[in-house]
Structures are given as C-alpha cells and as structure tokens.
C-alpha cells in the first residue's frame, strides 16, 4: 500500500494545488471521491488492469464517471491513464483529503468512551482539543464498554489514553518495574 501512497502523492498534490488556485477544494474533493469509488469497483478495476491502451482506459473511465468529472478532472484521468496509475485513485483521494484538512486547519479526532458523550461533553472536548491542536476539530465518537471509564482520544499520531483501563495498565507496569 505504501507503493500506491508514493505513486498517489504527486497526483494528489497537483490536484490540490490546482483546486486551491481555482478556489474549488470542495468540488475537487467530491470529484476525487467519486473517481476513487469508481476505481474500487471490481468490474472497473479488472478493466483497468487489462492490456487496453491508455486512451481506451481513460475514455472508459471518463464515460463511467460521466458528468461527475469536469474538464480538469478528465485531464487528470487521462494523465493517470497514460502513466498506468488509475488504480491509485483511492490513494490519490486519501492524500488529497489530508492536504485539504491541513490547508483548512481541520483535524478529525476519534473518541472512544465507556458511555455515550452528551452534547455539552462533546463541546467541552472540542474546545479543549481545538486549543491543544490549533485546529478546527471534528469528533468521531464511539462507545466501547471495555474502556470501563474515561476515554481514549486519537488524533493522527497523537493518542491520549485517559481510560481507567489505560491507567490500570500504566500502574501495573510501574509496579512491575
């Protein structure tokens, strides 16, 4: 998968730079999402792995996507087809989303708690995390009864384990040392 990530990065960067220049980040995100979903389709993926020429693959892909791709999106598909990179479209979309979030100063934070968080708890958590991360925070909340109490917060590479289970594990480790 890291190979596809490396292949996708320059395409995502080019699409992102163009989208910023045209002030069309949301439109490009939607377009790339649709193209990535089309590329994931088993019938389309099989066709893209065939020995058909680059122009034939690009025309097929553009025809499948239809009006979902604007002229510049079609140009991206043609360039990727020439380089036999259409299967990397899902990775291009993922890289584009990362660049977009960084540009818009957004962070998606996963929160796992023992019980469901109410609206005021979520707002307090958003305020605290927004200040700590210097980003606009969007929460993905989930409930896991094995957390016992407290919560587990994941934002990118950062993990904050404020769960009772985590505290007990740290205490056990400290006592064994």
DSSP string covering 8-34: HHHHHHHHHHHHHHHT-HHHHHHHHHH
Residues in the chain: 177
pTM passes above 0.75: no
Total Cβ atoms within 10 A of residue 123: 12
| Cβ 93 vs Cβ 77: under 8 Å | no
pLDDT of amino acid 135: 85
Low-confidence ranges of the chain (pLDDT < 50): 1
pLDDT of amino acid 2: 55
d(CA 154, CA 13): 26
Degrees, nearest 5: CA angle 155-2-86: 110
């Amino acid at each position: 998968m890291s190979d596809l990530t490396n292949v996708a990065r320059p395409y995502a960067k080019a699409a992102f730079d163009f989208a910023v220049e045209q002030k069309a980040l949301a439109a490009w995100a939607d377009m790339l999402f649709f193209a990535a979903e089309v590329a994931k389709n088993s019938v389309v993926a099989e066709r893209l792995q065939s020995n058909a020429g680059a122009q034939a693959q690009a025309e097929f892909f553009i025809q499948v996507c239809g009006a979902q791709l604007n002229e510049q999106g079609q140009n991206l598909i043609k360039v990727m087809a020439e380089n036999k990179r259409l299967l990397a479209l899902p990775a291009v979309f993922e890289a584009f989303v990362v660049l977009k979030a960084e540009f818009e100063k957004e962070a998606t934070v996963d929160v796992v708690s023992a019980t469901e968080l109410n609206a005021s708890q979520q707002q307090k958590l958003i305020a605290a995390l927004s200040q700590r991360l210097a980003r606009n925070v969007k929460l993905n909340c989930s409930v896991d009864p094995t957390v016992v109490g407290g919560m587990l917060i994941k934002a990118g590479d950062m993990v904050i384990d404020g769960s009772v289970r985590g505290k007990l594990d740290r205490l056990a480790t400290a006592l064994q040392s």
